[in-house]
Structure 1
Amino acid sequence: MPKTLPNGQSPCTWSTMRFKWRPMSKLILIGIGPDGPTQAGQTALQKVSCVVTAARHKDLISNLPCEILPISPLSEALSKIETRLTLGDVAVLASGDPLFFGIGRSLSTRFGAERLTIHPAISSMQLAFSQLKEPWDDAIFMSLHGRVKPSLAAADQMITSASPREQYADQDLFPALMTQRPLFLFTDPHQRPEIIAAGINRQMETIGLNDSDCRIMVAEELGSDNERITHGTPKSIATQRFSDLNVMIIRLTAPASPTTKFLFGLKETEIAHSRGLITKDEVRSAILHRLRLPQTGVFWDIGAGSGSISIEAARLCPGLTVFAIERNTDQQQNIAINRQKFRLANLHLIPGQAPDPLTELPDPDRVFIGGSGGQLPAIVTIASTRLKAHGIIIASAVTKNTRDTAPRIFHQHGLHVDISTITISREIYPPQANGPLSLNPITIITGSK
């Protein structure tokens, strides 16, 4: 082998090569419990070149000979962590278990799970349930921290000023409560316990529940010298003020609705209605099948009548926000009665003649037009324009005019249209003297976006 290459340079061999190799710096995520970090976390802190922390944890690391950076605002902190990782290991301090509604998700997404080392501590959830002395293996966990949309938490602020479009944009707490499982809730300085409690109380009143049917525990500054535990009902919690650092456990104690033993299939006789004006059982099932309801989202039931379609939809999909738009005062009363009977917190009555009330509602995923009051073209214009991608609009037709008009209007607004007509004959056994009961045929017009 030649000692030199044609250009005069020495050949590269393993004996002459030199590597300056540095292992990839670690990002160490350390949970802080009531007694500070765990022993493993304390050991890890001794070896880092930089610590990122919230102000409330700074006293725990004041004696460390390393750079200390604030964790807020988070976007800036993430950029600084990326820079500091080129110089050595970086520690991030977070309350409790950083992977439980914590910063762990953001760090894993940004830097990769393979770079993380995690030392969790006992979480606020564990501390709170230990104070309540109840198991938490069946609990539902939710966080309002940093939410932009209004939620049930802001209900008392919105009740007189907000439009339905704003008021119901993100109401997902009450359907969770209706499961009768404990709800563990992270709050923030804007979504405070007293605001949340006021919203829950308002929702309970609309479906006929009493204040005593719900129990709330607010746990403030858990594990600190300022720890405070408050128990109460929604009304009592709504009158108090709490520290910004808190969590809540909420549980509905009311007995279940009498129809919770089955999910679908209410009979006409079980639904309050007037003068026989109700979507018949067989037709209702076909309409709901055609609607292909999403688990969450927004459903407009226009010309809702007694609310039979809304009721079945709200029961089938507790996470779906259902708006029953109805102009007739007698039918509005029926909807209110049915809403209370079946305890449907996700069903909202909107009085008025469509299309006028539609402008104030959030954009729909599904629309059913059971009655139009002669306003079908205007209703379809608004509904099809506002309808979300892949949404569905259905109209039911009894008269020839609606059967002829609805498909044409749907098509003009760019919807894919199909039509089905249902003829119903009812009889019982043994046969009766008057024979089978034949009902008027109903045409179902489906428009898909």
Structure 2
Amino acid sequence: MSPAPPAPAAPEPLCVVGIGADGWDGLPAASQEALRTAEVLIGGARQLALLPAHVPGERVPWPSPLRPAVPGLLAAHAGRRVCVLASGDPMFYGIGRTLTEVLAEQEAREAREAPEEQETGGAVAPDGHRPPATRPRLRVLPHPSAVSHACARLGWPVEDTEVVTLVGRPTDNLARALYDGHRLLVLSAGAGTPAEVAALLRARGFGPTRMRVLEQLGGERERMVRGVAADWDAPPTDPLNVIALDCVRAPGTPALATVPGLPDTAYEHDGQLTKRHVRAATLAALAPAPGELLWDIGGGSGSIAIEWLRAHRGCRAVSVERDPVRAERIGRNAGALGVPALRVVPGAAPAALAGLPTPDAVFVGGGLTAPGLLAACWEALPPGGRIVANTVTLESEALLTEWYRRHGGDLIRLAVSHAVPVGGFTGWRQAMPVTQWAAVKPAAGQQP
């Protein structure tokens, strides 16, 4: 019996080196050695310029847009010792995440395209382990992040400081994190970001907020620019900056809570709005969790999807609305309340649901009697997925009662009354009661 062929050697790991404004001299020995011995150096123009001339590798600047170019760039230099430069900590809003995702996608694609035996040539070591994969591993050599530097300068505990990045993201993302007395660090997209942040703070009623712009952290040209958002007039700063905010809400600005049930006045609407108390109960039944996707069908003003997204920055949502005017309004509400990533799909369900990614939860706030709508939503849900439907009409209530009979869950009626003047006294005015059905889809073979 002939011996098994030798296992192929593991490829050189793809190395990612974090570098700060202090450049080459601020790098530890391991990072300098990785850069000195690399055959190819990939990075932004600013980062590559920080390397001294005696670092011999071929210098390749990132193209724009960056993300789509990464697989091809790595493939073009396969088999060579490649070192990627990153600002600060590559795994903190940096290129490290992108590279990790690209390598994982390559591995998954290889696994789909070839059986395991073909990937390894059928060779199995005596201990039962297979040879190393042919794709490169990732070796990350971090540098102190801008956040670490900023907190050190400000005396802020890192664990108590929220970070919002505006690099490649809308400035509206910041609105979700604005609370009186809250400390924020904003990762800036460039020299003009401080002025954009100041304008957003004024527009959202946080003009008294103290701003400090920290430039070139850790470098010889480090400096801090101070001011208040209400009268911020500093010229464009160094592009490499972080913005520190001590949030102060202006008198008269409504306070927005971190929990569902924002005031109805927080939304622009035409009356098609799930009202505050019913909204809070609906979000409780939907139970948003990090990373999960919601379908909000019959979005109206977008309140359910918006407050789902505000529950955690990892939450995702799609709002389906057939009225184009309302669809545009949903987008404006999402931006104003700090979740501009809400995807708005104009169109009528169930037809508009075709091609949407699989939801973890579905809310039906309108159009319940559309033929096949509930069936399409139920079919789209994976086992363990949640569905919640609200209605105020007898016809839709009868439909929900039938689905409750077939699939179980909870069928409840929500009634809210508000105190109003009655002559010289006070009485109760009841809003239309809302019937709500909420259910969890069981696994195949399980009883509801």
Give the TM bin, normalised by the shorter chain. 0.5 to 0.7
Matched with 1:93 is 85
- Aligned counterpart for 2:19 among listed residues 32, 45, 60: 32
For residue 396 of structure 1, report the CA deviation from its aligned partner. 5.0
CA distance in structure 1 between the partners assigned to 2:148 and 2:398 by the alignment:
57
Residue 241 in structure 1 maps to residue 204 in structure 2: no
Cα contact 1:52–1:93 (8 A) shared by 2: yes
Tell me the SS of whatever aligns to 2:164.
Answer: strand
5+ residue gaps, structure 1, are 1-10, 154-170, 205-209, 267-277, 324-343, 348-362, 370-375, 427-436
- Aligned counterpart for 1:62 among listed residues 53, 56, 74: 53
Matched with 1:211 is 207
Tell me the SS of whatever aligns to 1:242.
Answer: coil
Matched with 1:251 is 246
Cα contact 1:128–1:219 (8 A) shared by 2: yes
CA distance in structure 1 between the partners assigned to 2:44 and 2:174 by the alignment:
29
Q: Alignment identity in percent?
A: 22
Distance change (3 Å), C-alpha of 1:446 and 1:146: same
Matched with 1:46 is 36
- With normalisation by structure 1, the TM-score equals 0.54
Cα contact 2:150–2:214 (8 A) shared by 1: yes
2:19 maps to a residue whose letter is I
Cα contact 1:38–1:119 (8 A) shared by 2: no
Matched with 1:137 is 159
1:31 maps to a residue whose letter is G
For residue 174 of structure 1, report the CA deviation from its aligned partner. 2.5
Tell me the SS of whatever aligns to 1:244.
Answer: coil
Residue 81 in structure 1 maps to residue 80 in structure 2: no
Residue 146 in structure 1 maps to residue 168 in structure 2: yes
For residue 438 of structure 1, report the CA deviation from its aligned partner. 12
For residue 198 of structure 1, report the CA deviation from its aligned partner. 0.9
Distance change (3 Å), C-alpha of 1:117 and 1:179: farther
Distance change (3 Å), C-alpha of 1:78 and 1:222: farther
Distance change (3 Å), C-alpha of 1:135 and 1:409: closer
Cα deviations by residue, 1:317-351 (Å, 9 ceiling, x for unpaired): 48799x9xxxxxxxxxxxxxxxxxxxx9569xxxx
For residue 145 of structure 1, report the CA deviation from its aligned partner. 1.5
CA distance in structure 2 between the partners assigned to 1:300 and 1:191 by the alignment:
38
Matched with 1:126 is 148
Cα contact 1:32–1:93 (8 A) shared by 2: yes
Cα deviations by residue, 1:194-252 (Å, 9 ceiling, x for unpaired): 11221122112xxxxx522x222222233344433212222333664233322222232
Distance change (3 Å), C-alpha of 1:439 and 1:417: farther
Q: Where do residues 234-383 of structure 1 align in structure 2 (5 Å cutoff)?
A: 234-237=229-232, 240-254=235-249, 317=311, 366=363, 368=365
Distance change (3 Å), C-alpha of 1:410 and 1:316: farther
For residue 23 of structure 1, report the CA deviation from its aligned partner. 5.2
1:38 maps to a residue whose letter is P
Tell me the SS of whatever aligns to 2:33.
Answer: helix
Cα contact 2:40–2:82 (8 A) shared by 1: yes
- With normalisation by structure 2, the TM-score equals 0.54
CA distance in structure 2 between the partners assigned to 1:91 and 1:64 by the alignment:
12
CA distance in structure 2 between the partners assigned to 1:406 and 1:138 by the alignment:
47
Residue 220 in structure 1 maps to residue 242 in structure 2: no
Tell me the SS of whatever aligns to 1:174.
Answer: helix
- Aligned counterpart for 1:229 among listed residues 221, 224, 229: 224
Matched with 1:174 is 175
Distance change (3 Å), C-alpha of 1:440 and 1:26: closer
Distance change (3 Å), C-alpha of 1:247 and 1:72: farther
Cα deviations by residue, 1:38-71 (Å, 9 ceiling, x for unpaired): 2221122232222223222335142233322213
Matched with 1:109 is 101
How many residues align? The count is 335
CA distance in structure 2 between the partners assigned to 1:72 and 1:58 by the alignment:
16
Distance change (3 Å), C-alpha of 1:106 and 1:440: closer
Cα contact 1:263–1:315 (8 A) shared by 2: no
Distance change (3 Å), C-alpha of 1:407 and 1:82: same
Cα deviations by residue, 1:248-268 (Å, 9 ceiling, x for unpaired): 2223245999997x96899xx
CA distance in structure 1 between the partners assigned to 2:97 and 2:74 by the alignment:
15
Matched with 1:430 is none
Residue 195 in structure 1 maps to residue 214 in structure 2: no
Cα deviations by residue, 1:157-177 (Å, 9 ceiling, x for unpaired): xxxxxxxxxxxxxx4422323
2:14 maps to a residue whose letter is L
